[in-house]
Amino acid sequence: MLLGFLAKDWFSPAVSPLGEFSYDLHRQLAEQWGGKERWGWSESAGWSLDRPNDEETGKNGDPAVASNEPKTDLDWLMNGTSRTTVITNPQVSPSETNGLDDVYPRWLQTDPAALQLISERTTTGQVDPLQLCRFLLEQCLANGVILHHPARATKLIKTNPNDPNSPTLVHLEVVETIDDKGHSESSTSSPRTDSISSSIERSSSSGSTSARTPSIREHSVWGDRRTRSIEISCDSLVIAAGCWTPRVYRTLFPNAKKVPKVSPLSGHSLILKSKRWPAEIVDANAVPSSLPRVCHAVFTSDPSGFSPEMFSRVGGDIWLGGLNSSTLPLPNLASDAHGMISRSSIRTLTDVAKKLCGDDVEVIEEALCFRPIAPTGNPIVAKVKERDLGEGPKPNGGVFLATGHGPWGISLSLGTGRVVSEMVLGKETSVNVDGLSKWDI
């Protein structure tokens, strides 16, 4: 369960062009397709909440903030502090926050004087990531994309092993859950959300149908799961496997001398309900209101040593997270994370929720997810040089990396998708991402 906070200008210089571009794409997409109703898009006011222990350490419990040391994305990522440490100039001073009734987070049970508005509604926003992904997938399928899900890419093969220029195939292991009668429950066109992994291809009117039609090679049964292997043609390959990118890269390019470094930063989170933040009735047929309801992002610190982040959402949920760890091991499958949830982390978050929102707040969901962190703290959006793929089959159109988005993968998602598609097509990219090409450090 991810959050979906979006920012226009909370990024380091190398990421800024992509950050702004992506934020604008989120707004345009929402305006064009009814994003408020369909995926909970909304503007969001950002607040910093000073709590008593902040005095010794500076805002957000981070000593470096008190000493005015310059901060980078990497500092707060690695130290588990708040993402607001990257904002050097809050846009609104405490004295100016009087009269900001329409953006004030009424669901918080705290002293209003301790709150400072740090971002305007026009430069920060929110989406429900699951609903946004569902919408995007629907559009992809409607436009001819073929989805194999859940699936794992396991090998690259040349159709003619003696000719390095012959077409390349990707060997996929498609995993299906089977019911009591041994029937498969999965289908290539109806994705489930408990993904193992997925692979997509674009059907093309210029491509030969036989080359595009996956050929099924073999079946095997594994517990209540059945796997079948298929091969699909591959002109270009985009590896966008988050924290699993190094594993996928090593599997597909076993002779490569170096592998992109992406490490996991896990985060526990809760979804809460409070009677002080009721759901907004959102009617898909209603005339869009001229002044949309503003959601909230609240950043604070806690004496237990972490930096809680809270977000009120269009659907009447409040999301609470910020309890992060770089030592929790990455599970083999993304869907295994749920079984790794720590009870003590959930208790810590629940205590914070009650302190900040009142004892009557109700926990309705618990989650654990992994952010992909690259060594620079910035995403990697790059075409891989052929020599870095090592000996062996490779797609003729090239291999691209889109990973390492850390805490900003939802905000940067639309821009990254657009830019990577332009790279694959050999076009000039909409924004300059040269600063994001470093992956072999």
Ligand X SMILES: Cc1cc2nc3c(=O)[nH]c(=O)nc-3n(C[C@H](O)[C@H](O)[C@H](O)COP(=O)(O)OP(=O)(O)OC[C@H]3O[C@@H](n4cnc5c(N)ncnc54)[C@H](O)[C@@H]3O)c2cc1C
Contact of 301 with 82, CB cutoff 8 Å: yes
Query: How many whole angstroms separate alpha carbon 238 and alpha carbon 200?
Result: 10
Can you tell me which residue has the tokens 């003729």? 396
Contact of 116 with 17, CB cutoff 8 Å: no
Asked if 267 interacts with ligand X (CB under 6 A), we say yes
Contact of 151 with 125, CB cutoff 8 Å: no
Query: How many whole angstroms separate alpha carbon 201 and alpha carbon 214?
Result: 10
Per CB under 6 A, the list member of 4, 214, 398, 415 interacting with ligand X is 4
Asked if 357 interacts with ligand X (CB under 6 A), we say no
Per CB under 6 A, the list member of 26, 38, 59, 152 interacting with ligand X is 152
Asked if 153 interacts with ligand X (CB under 6 A), we say yes
Q: Considering CB under 6 A, how many residues would be counted as binding ligand X?
A: 33
Query: How many whole angstroms separate alpha carbon 210 and alpha carbon 44?
Result: 49
Asked if 345 interacts with ligand X (CB under 6 A), we say no
Per CB under 6 A, the list member of 269, 301, 312, 345 interacting with ligand X is 269
**Which of residues 52 and 222 has its CB atom nearest to ligand X in the complex?**
222
**Which of residues 10 and 277 has its CB atom nearest to ligand X in the complex?**
10
Closest to 396 measured CA to CA, from 386, 382, 381, 388: 386
Per CB under 6 A, the list member of 40, 80, 409, 415 interacting with ligand X is 409
**Span 6-65, contacts to ligand X by CB under 6 A:** none
Q: What's the token pair of residue 367?
A: 């989650």
Asked if 82 interacts with ligand X (CB under 6 A), we say no
To ligand X, the closest distance from the beta carbon of 194 in angstroms equals 10
To ligand X, the closest distance from the beta carbon of 77 in angstroms equals 11
- Helices 16-33 and 413-424 cross at an angle (nearest 10°) of 100
Q: Under the phi-then-psi rule, with left for phi > 0, alpha for psi from -120 to 50, and beta for the rest, what region is 4?
A: left
Q: Helix-strand-coil percent breakdown of the chain, rounded to 5?
A: 30, 25, 45
154 CB neighbour count, 10 Å cutoff: 13
To ligand X, the closest distance from the beta carbon of 311 in angstroms equals 7
Asked if 252 interacts with ligand X (CB under 6 A), we say no
Asked if 403 interacts with ligand X (CB under 6 A), we say yes
Can you tell me which residue has the tokens 């598609």? 421
Q: What's the token pair of residue 208?
A: 């030969």
Asked if 369 interacts with ligand X (CB under 6 A), we say yes
- Tell me if residue 359 falls in helix, strand or coil: coil
Asked if 371 interacts with ligand X (CB under 6 A), we say yes
DSSP 262-305: -EEEEEEEEEEE-TTSPPP---TTSPPPSSPPPEEEEE---TTS
Asked if 116 interacts with ligand X (CB under 6 A), we say no
- Tell me if residue 260 falls in helix, strand or coil: coil
Pick the piece of the chain touching ligand X (CB under 6 A) from 58-66, 196-204, 357-365, 419-427.
196-204
Q: Give Cα 227 to chain centroid, integer Å.
A: 28
Asked if 199 interacts with ligand X (CB under 6 A), we say yes
Per CB under 6 A, the list member of 248, 330, 374, 389 interacting with ligand X is 248
Pick the piece of the chain touching ligand X (CB under 6 A) from 70-78, 200-208, 240-248, 348-356.
240-248
Pick the piece of the chain touching ligand X (CB under 6 A) from 13-21, 113-121, 398-406, 429-437.
398-406
To ligand X, the closest distance from the beta carbon of 206 in angstroms equals 26
Asked if 125 interacts with ligand X (CB under 6 A), we say no
Q: Which residues bind ligand X (CB under 6 A)?
A: 2-5, 152-153, 195-199, 240-244, 248, 267, 269, 321, 334, 369-372, 403, 405-411
